[in-house]
A and B are shown apart, each in its own frame.
Chain A
């Protein structure tokens, strides 16, 4: 089967699966899965740039996602003025102290010759800087977190429309990736993997504990939305008319009762909101896909693949491998950051506690590997299939368990246990799929196609 047929076939099967869920379970569920599939597709396209184009093992996908989510909060939440006036000054002082420390550190690093004296000066600079930062910082956080801790207790954001955060999230993730890349690129892949894994864990602990910034585990809820609210839709004239036109009459032509109509309007409002999100997300996916495909087929893309396939040969041809790696790492992280902001937008809340590596790093890996590393459409279909399985495996395993369970008594400990652990069956399933794909079709569902012009 050639590649084009594979694309058509795999996407048709995916569409069919989603339609089945739509008819079988409900359209709300199908669209919810579809939206998450789209977000996952953006994430896996980002990771595909890093792994598929350039062969970088990034085990810190979660860090980009989380910083994208944080940006969504910082852009859209209205600023908490009281907190700014209480803690703004010491916070600025702490930040200035940080900058001065960094400046002095760089000065020492550049001006003093390597040796014992430099280490001594460096330690002195860092320690002094730390003490000053800590003094102002402690004062600032205490002041900020004391302002209505039950409602806000953090600085808030800029109060801009949340859709801007999708771009800002990408930029923030790119900035983080630049720092990470400076530290850990240029070494062998395993080291890079471990370093990025560490960064992502630190990132999450920062989000969980820096209450002044992200409200920590108290979560930020009620974020602004780029689409209408269900409640408003149910009240608005045009929406009611729209629903009445489609669902106003029963099969025999008579008008349906008011109660049924109201229920239909409520359901339709949910579906409508999700369709709005789907439209936005789909636009993002298509734009990124367009850019990614262009990039992959350009000389730049060929250079990346050349570096991936043989670093030594590529550097012999005068390519700066490390800086190219850094470049693609930053671009890929930015794409993942966009997805992170989209995810927080869709959820309408930011919950640092929900970020776990298996879900936000390694699941994205499964998507890329299954779909076909190096192929953008492959990354998308991989994201769709993986997310679909991830979501539907839970009801499926619960169903399976419930069928096993009819044999057991209501209070049988085994039955209770099975009910509790059924959701974890999907972990095993994911691992199994990953290992099987890696073994038997290592190129994935849609293999990377060798360009014609070789």
Chain B
């Protein structure tokens, strides 16, 4: 009896601190990585401005949220940001369209080398970075409203009689649910609609796609629209779940790239798998397992250290190590994407 309760406690502990957070963080990464991978598949360059694009989308959502809140449009259960997000998506799509027209289209017509696109995307990154900070400042912003927890740690303890609490935040559930819906819509779009098929054809073989009469400009525009929408969604979900801080979105770039590459670049399914792999590894590697081991180990045994593989500050290292391992073992990524 004692043992089984310990086991349940360990399970609750690990769900609370590792499983649930990595599930939601993984969904956020996956949404970002799908955007990166689509842009890579169609436009053939790694978009360094993607993190800032997420920041812009989230910022736009914050502004709409504040506007709605000032008009008194709120909901007691759901965050207002959900209502604000569609408007922000429109704004972000508009921004991306302008950027593509003014920056990237020129190089596409000139058939420039991919690395020129990357440098141009660095320029875009600078501009978006400055723009977001000018508009909203650099401070941390919490724009979540509505109900914070679905299950509170205390209530869970009382309900189950366990000594470990399990808290389930509404944003975590929202993240996973919205990510599933978004991914479902994306695959429906890619597999079933004409434009989606054109996109896949273009990604697989540009020359053949052009030969069969696919309009490249249209494909590119649709790609940007999808990438911008997903970036906004990912940015908002991340911001809701934690908080909005412009610099954090720059640092998300590395795990997002890692996810896209792990899954196989140019492969949306791969990007999703990659997102969860990176998130799980990052959180598992930086979690202190001391308490967990204490529950599972025989009585009166407690590990001396924290049982932590890496200290929390080194979470970048996790994405990087995964990147390197994939590079060495399977450069195509899990789903046999393109070799960079």
Q: Are A435 and B331 also in contact (CB < 8 A) when A199-B320, A426-B130, A427-B126 are? A: no
Contact indicator B340/A430 (Cβ below 8 Å): no
Binary flags per residue of A56-100, CB closer than 8 Å to B gives 1, else 0: 010100000000000000000000000000000000000000000
Q: How far is the CA of A124 from the CA of B148 in the complex (A)?
A: 44
Interface residues of A in 169-207 (CB under 8 A from B): 183-184, 187-191, 193-195, 197-199, 201-202, 205-206
A337 at the interface (CB under 8 A from B): no
A389 at the interface (CB under 8 A from B): no
- Return A105 CB to nearest CB of chain B, in Å: 13
Interface residues of B in 240-254 (CB under 8 A from A): 250-251, 253-254
Q: How far is the CA of A438 from the CA of B119 in the complex (A)?
A: 8
Interface-centre pick from A59, A134, A426, A427 (highest chain B CB count, 10 A): A427
Contact indicator B323/A195 (Cβ below 8 Å): yes
A209 at the interface (CB under 8 A from B): yes
List chain B residues, Cβ under 8 A from A113. none
Q: Which of B22-30, B160-168, B268-276, B309-317 contacts A (4 or more CB under 8 A)?
A: B309-317
Q: Are A369 and B115 also in contact (CB < 8 A) when A190-B45, A420-B137, A427-B129 are? A: no
Interface residues of B in 297-340 (CB under 8 A from A): 305, 311, 313-314, 316-317, 319-320, 323-324, 327-328, 331, 339-340
| A119 and chain B: residue at smallest CB distance | B329
Interface-centre pick from A57, A189, A426, A438 (highest chain B CB count, 10 A): A438
B127 at the interface (CB under 8 A from A): yes
A421 at the interface (CB under 8 A from B): yes
- Return B323 CB to nearest CB of chain A, in Å: 6
A34 at the interface (CB under 8 A from B): no
The residue from A184, A199, A425, A438 contacting B134, defined by CB atoms under 8 A apart:
A425
Interface residues of A in 192-244 (CB under 8 A from B): 193-195, 197-199, 201-202, 205-206, 208-209
Q: Are A190 and B114 also in contact (CB < 8 A) when A138-B305, A421-B134 are? A: yes
Q: How far is the CA of A439 from the CA of B48 in the complex (A)?
A: 18
B123 at the interface (CB under 8 A from A): yes
B220 at the interface (CB under 8 A from A): no
Contact indicator A438/B320 (Cβ below 8 Å): no
Contact indicator B331/A434 (Cβ below 8 Å): no
Contact indicator B311/A209 (Cβ below 8 Å): yes
A255 at the interface (CB under 8 A from B): no
Contact indicator A190/B340 (Cβ below 8 Å): yes
List chain A residues, Cβ under 8 A from B279. none
Q: How far is the CA of A380 from the CA of B122 in the complex (A)?
A: 21
Q: Which of A19-27, A278-286, A293-301, A357-365 contacts B (4 or more CB under 8 A)?
A: A357-365
In this complex, the interface size class of chain B, counting residues with CB under 8 Å from chain A, is 35 or more
B106 at the interface (CB under 8 A from A): yes
Binary flags per residue of B27-71, CB closer than 8 Å to A gives 1, else 0: 000000000000010000110100000000000000000000000
Contact indicator A183/B133 (Cβ below 8 Å): no
Contact indicator B316/A198 (Cβ below 8 Å): yes
List chain A residues, Cβ under 8 A from B103. 435, 439
The residue from A138, A187, A201, A439 contacting B106, defined by CB atoms under 8 A apart:
A439
A449 at the interface (CB under 8 A from B): no
Q: How far is the CA of A105 from the CA of B254 in the complex (A)?
A: 28
- Return A278 CB to nearest CB of chain B, in Å: 29
Q: Are A194 and B261 also in contact (CB < 8 A) when A357-B250, A438-B119 are? A: yes
Q: Are A201 and B126 also in contact (CB < 8 A) when A57-B118, A190-B114, A421-B134 are? A: no
B257 at the interface (CB under 8 A from A): yes
Contact indicator B127/A428 (Cβ below 8 Å): yes
Q: How far is the CA of A190 from the CA of B43 in the complex (A)?
A: 13
Q: Classify the interface of chain B: helix, strand, loop or mixed.
A: helix
Contact indicator B124/A435 (Cβ below 8 Å): yes
- Return B106 CB to nearest CB of chain A, in Å: 6
The residue from B114, B127, B316, B323 contacting A427, defined by CB atoms under 8 A apart:
B127
List chain B residues, Cβ under 8 A from A55. 115
- Return A421 CB to nearest CB of chain B, in Å: 5
A111 at the interface (CB under 8 A from B): no
Q: How far is the CA of A376 from the CA of B34 in the complex (A)?
A: 40
Q: How far is the CA of A365 from the CA of B123 in the complex (A)?
A: 10
Contact indicator A434/B118 (Cβ below 8 Å): no
Interface-centre pick from A421, A426, A442 (highest chain B CB count, 10 A): A421
Q: How far is the CA of A209 from the CA of B305 in the complex (A)?
A: 18
B98 at the interface (CB under 8 A from A): no
Q: How many residues of A contact B (CB 8 A)?
A: 47
Contact indicator A201/B251 (Cβ below 8 Å): yes
Q: Are A190 and B320 also in contact (CB < 8 A) when A197-B253, A201-B254 are? A: no
Q: How far is the CA of A417 from the CA of B136 in the complex (A)?
A: 9
- Return B337 CB to nearest CB of chain A, in Å: 12
List chain A residues, Cβ under 8 A from B134. 421, 424-425, 428
A431 at the interface (CB under 8 A from B): yes
A432 at the interface (CB under 8 A from B): yes
List chain B residues, Cβ under 8 A from A369. 119
Binary flags per residue of A264-288, CB closer than 8 Å to B gives 1, else 0: 0000000000000000000000000
Q: Are A205 and B131 also in contact (CB < 8 A) when A189-B115, A435-B120 are? A: no
Listed by A's residue number, 29 A-B pairs whose Cβ atoms lie within 8 Å are A57-B115, A57-B118, A138-B305, A187-B327, A188-B114, A189-B115, A189-B118, A190-B114, A191-B340, A194-B254, A195-B327, A201-B251, A205-B314, A358-B129, A362-B126, A365-B119, A366-B123, A369-B119, A424-B133, A424-B134, A425-B130, A425-B134, A427-B126, A428-B127, A431-B130, A434-B119, A434-B122, A435-B123, A438-B119
12 extra A-B contacts, CB within 8 A, seeds A191-B261, A425-B134: A184-B327, A194-B254, A198-B316, A198-B323, A365-B119, A427-B126, A428-B126, A428-B131, A434-B120, A435-B103, A438-B123, A439-B106
Closest 3 CB pairs of A and B: A427-B130, A431-B126, A431-B127
The interface of chain B, by Cβ under 8 A from chain A, is 40, 45-46, 48, 103, 106, 114-116, 118-120, 122-131, 133-135, 137-138, 250-251, 253-254, 257-258, 261, 305, 311, 313-314, 316-317, 319-320, 323-324, 327-328, 331, 339-340
